[in-house]
Amino acid sequence: MNKPIKVLLIDDNESCNFITERVLSKTGLAGDIAVKLNGKEALDYLMDIDKDRKISFPELIFLDINMPVMDGFEFLDQYEKAGFNKKLTRIVMLTSSMMESDRQRAFKFQSVVDYLEKFMDVQKANEIIHAL
């Protein structure tokens, strides 16, 4: 088994976060799981981590598109402007939007490696984490 990784969930849907956390915990592949309810909270969290070099940056981020305050695309724009895309973190869009235009837009961002429909299951989690 691979070493457990640090994961960040960014979604305002608490049910989805609960399910994703449970699935990731069941795989044993995610160690530290942080949850933020919108892009702004997540960006602030990542900026704090970036300042404190003792805390490791997440290796994987699951990101929703439709959220209040700052949506997923706004987050991705700010994430790349801040230079976080230079880190080894990979982003998986985990969203209810199956619009092809959203999918294409997501893959224009360098850090986005996958685009999945909610909800997470063990098979999807294992595939994603093993592909890292």
How high is the pLDDT of residue 1? Answer: 45
Which pLDDT does position 65 carry in this prediction? 96
Q: How confident is the model at residue 50 (pLDDT cuts 50, 70, 90)?
A: confident
Quote the pTM value: 0.91
- Tokens 């850090």 map to which residue? 111
Question: Which token pair is 10?
Answer: 């960014």
**CATH superfamily membership of 5-131:** Response regulator (3.40.50.2300)
Domain ranges (residues) in the chain? 5-131
**Interval 112-130: pLDDT, tens:** 999 988 888 888 887 877 7
| The pair of three-digit structure tokens given for residue 112, joined into one six-digit string | 């986005």
pLDDT of residue 132: 67
Residue 117 · residue 98 · CB < 8 Å: yes
- Got the DSSP string for 72-112? HHHHHHHHHHTTGGGSS-EEEEEES---HHHHHHHTTSTTE
The whole-angstrom separation of Cα 125 and Cα 24 is: 7
